[in-house]
Structure 1
Amino acid sequence: MLYWQSICKFIKLSMNHYLYELINTRKNILLLQGPIGPFFKNIAEWLQKFGCNVYKINLNGGDEYFYPQNSFSFRDSVENFSQFLQNYIQEYAIDSIVVFGDCRTYHRIAKSIVDSNLNLSFWVFEEGYLRPHYITFEKSGVNGFSLLSKNHDFYQKIQIITIDESKGKSHFYSMAYYSVIYYIFMVLKKYKYSNYVHHRETSLYFYASRWTLALIRKLKAKLIQPKLIKNVINNDYKPFYIFPLQCNQDYQIQVHSHYHSMKSYIFRVIRSFSLFADKKSYLLIKHHPMDEGFNNYNRLIKKLANRYCVSKRVIYIHGVPMPILLRKAIGLVTVNSTCGLSGLIHGLPVIALGNAHYDIKGLTFQEGLNRFWKEGRKPNAQLFERYRSYLCNKSQIKGSIYYADFKLNIK
């Protein structure tokens, strides 16, 4: 109970939060696809308490399982979704569409309809920008599509607030459980939603094989992890830059970056490091923990490191916790990961190579990767606190989309 009261107090401070704008200006709200689990069902109940009329369209059996009542099942082809949605909006006088993730096929179609209709608004839930245990909610789009200002002058008058950095309970097992249930019912009801186009691979065998491989790789990494951690703590790689990789299939890479491939970024970073970084420095490339079973860049990194004569200075690591690396690193290179925010929190020089909402003059390095290695500057601490305060007040919700008992206690 105290936990939820703390959430309530946190959001009561944020009268300009996007959630307030939604409930105060909108009446008929349509939910499209949400995250796996009961999150959207809980959101619907909360919206109804504020007098909103909530509608839901299910696109597959997994959607239907977690939101079975008071919903409509769209079973036609994706090519006909636009016309169907326009008719649905008109029939029920929909004024807002709420989704989880704005780059899925059906959500992009919905966004295009909203963009051509001044009476409609588009709202997006996403994993939290502040990690862990936060949820993002924005108007119009998230990540590279975010409306958050990138003008550093905008933040000069923002009041600094205390950010709740308490750790909530782990959601890993809930997420795993919901994933299994979701995909089982997606398969079981494929006959009903035969025209559905998913944004990811849907084969249970595919995921079973990938997660088995991920487990093997993580167990292998654990054998050498203590040595790597010891090397970092003992400054064996001093000084070093950290380059945290991202999931190649993630929309942050596929949509919100310039090269749309982690391999291309690995090539660019290693080449630049070899040519422009101090010859005594190291580059630690950290594999993304959720990408273990899907990609492995060991051969590529070795090949590039040998080609550019930095094989002893480029280290490919798995499993080492980011906080340990952030406390010892002298700089962080990222495409647009939330690790960039973590780097800023630790006062590190950070450069974002893709489209990142925190890529702001005074926070991140703006003069290019080649100059970053020797000219990278620490972020303006006060500017960052103002930016983070605004980010939290405007778009962040304490909690996790995978908590079974998650409730929005905003009054």
Structure 2
Amino acid sequence: MSHYLHELAHTKRNILLLQGPVGPFFNKVADWLQNFNNNVFKINLNGGDEHFYPCNSVSFYDSIEVFPQFLENYIQQHTIDAIVVFGDCRTYHKIAKSVVDSNPNLSFWVFEEGYLRPHYITFEKDGVNGFSLLPKNHDFYQNVEITSIDESNGKSHYYSMIYYSIIYYIFMLLKKYKYSNYIHHRNTSLSFYASHWALALIRKLKSRLIKPRLIKNVINNEYKPFYIFPLQCNQDFQIQVHSHYHSMKSYIFRVIRSFSLFADKKSYLLIKHHPMDEGFNNYNRLIKKLASRYDVSKRVIYILGVPMPILLRKAIGLVTVNSTCGLSALIHGLPVIALGKAHYDIKGLTFQNGLDRFWKERQKPNTQLFERYRSYLCNKSQIKGSIYYADFKLNIE
């Protein structure tokens, strides 16, 4: 079990929950924490929050300008000593973090999608992803004990996530009159998501027609040798907050240009579209334009739908901004370079000498260092399970 979760649950506290993920997950979190005699409070910020957490909660209806004072008053009134959120870059959560930072009696805890996806949940103190407190010092991990990792696979919860998202946004819309001042971190239009999910479905169906050929080409080494560049969701905080360019288009430009100038002329670059972004962005024209400009049209392949494990087994290296695919590549012993802020960007694990030199000087990760790092990561911050699994139960010992 996560060391951080054990620390939170086993010290009797007055815990305030802010926004959780879509679905009933935070309701379960409250039950788990109450089983250890913690007092749990909840502030709802919109109709979706209220629907999935209707009891023992209060609602905030005012403008965001008064939220800091509202939060400070609430903390004082209920003697709150810990705040728990899902994602640390949402507008209200950033305010909460600033309040915690100015109060030595408060602590800040963050749930997030698992670093080791798709079968883990992340839980850390003070921040996640680029804000994570996980040590990046190579020497720190030399004395970490290597422990066994539960690598069993569970069911996919992609459609559960879509279901909960639909319900969440429906109730956000239905109760918009109550929460008229609420500021969401993403587009809240049902028609927006319906149209893009429909487009994603169409693209998925199209990709199924060419996926067998692409998979066959990969397995038969038609693209050998090749690098993988897995794209990330452009609107995700990993790009908007924890990267240098804040746009996947900028990274695509940088990677293709560098590949054309410095990679071996016989190598390929396979650019993989993110499965959750298929209905929102399509980079086919941009990639074709850049590949043509830099005379690598035959060596840059844009792919959708091919499972990452198939690619990882055949690739010679992976370029990422800060995706969890970087961790998957390290598990496979592949050379990796992270172009943004990544908690696994550590000397001995990832390439440290820049993208232009990566193509020819790439190095495989230190196997023992990675096993020590992964053991520490799992024991410190990872919880086995899925946020969107309806029957998921947390084992707190």
Q: TM-score range by the shorter chain?
A: over 0.9
Q: Indicate if the aligned counterparts of 2:317 and 2:335 stay in contact, CA closer than 8 A.
A: yes
Over the aligned positions, Cα root-mean-square deviation in angstroms equals: 0.8
Partner of 2:396 in structure 1? Answer: 410
Rounded Cα–Cα distance in structure 2 between residues aligned with 1:151 and 1:202:
40
Q: CA deviation at 1:26?
A: 4.9
Matches within 5 A, 1:128-167: 128-167=114-153
Partner of 2:203 in structure 1? Answer: 217
Rounded Cα–Cα distance in structure 1 between residues aligned with 2:206 and 2:389:
30
Question: How many pairs does the alignment contain?
Answer: 397
Rounded Cα–Cα distance in structure 2 between residues aligned with 1:46 and 1:225:
43
Rounded Cα–Cα distance in structure 2 between residues aligned with 1:74 and 1:100:
17
Q: CA deviation at 1:170?
A: 2.1
Pick from 264, 269, 276: which aligns with 1:283?
A: 269
Pick from 360, 365, 368: which aligns with 2:354?
A: 368
Pick from 68, 83, 94: which aligns with 2:80?
A: 94
Q: CA deviation at 1:347?
A: 0.3
Q: CA deviation at 1:305?
A: 0.4
Rounded Cα–Cα distance in structure 2 between residues aligned with 1:348 and 1:133:
21
Pick from 298, 310, 317: which aligns with 1:312?
A: 298
Matches within 5 A, 1:25-44: 25-44=11-30
Query: What is the TM-score with the length of structure 1 in the denominator?
Result: 0.96
Q: Indicate if the aligned counterparts of 1:26 and 1:95 stay in contact, CA closer than 8 A.
A: no
Q: Indicate if the aligned counterparts of 1:26 and 1:96 stay in contact, CA closer than 8 A.
A: no
2:374 paired with 1:388: yes
Residue identity opposite 1:46 in structure 2: W
Rounded Cα–Cα distance in structure 1 between residues aligned with 2:268 and 2:162:
36
Q: CA deviation at 1:379?
A: 0.1
Q: Deviations over 1:204-230 (max 9, x none)?
A: 100010011111111111111111111
Rounded Cα–Cα distance in structure 2 between residues aligned with 1:337 and 1:239:
22
Q: Deviations over 1:149-177 (max 9, x none)?
A: 00010001111111111111221222121
Rounded Cα–Cα distance in structure 2 between residues aligned with 1:406 and 1:226:
34
Q: CA deviation at 1:65?
A: 0.6
Q: CA deviation at 1:409?
A: 1.9
Partner of 1:4 in structure 2? Answer: none
Q: SS of 1:119's equivalent? A: coil
Partner of 1:168 in structure 2? Answer: 154
Q: CA deviation at 1:23?
A: 2.2
Q: CA deviation at 1:22?
A: 1.1
Q: Indicate if the aligned counterparts of 1:123 and 1:141 stay in contact, CA closer than 8 A.
A: yes
Single out whichever of 252-261 and 173-182 deviates more from structure 2.
173-182
Ranges of 4+ aligned residues in structure 1 off by more than 2 Å: 23-26
Partner of 1:296 in structure 2? Answer: 282
Q: Indicate if the aligned counterparts of 2:12 and 2:36 stay in contact, CA closer than 8 A.
A: no
Q: Which runs of 5+ in 2 are unaligned?
A: none
Q: Indicate if the aligned counterparts of 2:142 and 2:369 stay in contact, CA closer than 8 A.
A: yes
Partner of 1:122 in structure 2? Answer: 108
Q: CA deviation at 1:24?
A: 3.2
Q: Deviations over 1:379-402 (max 9, x none)?
A: 000000000000000000000011
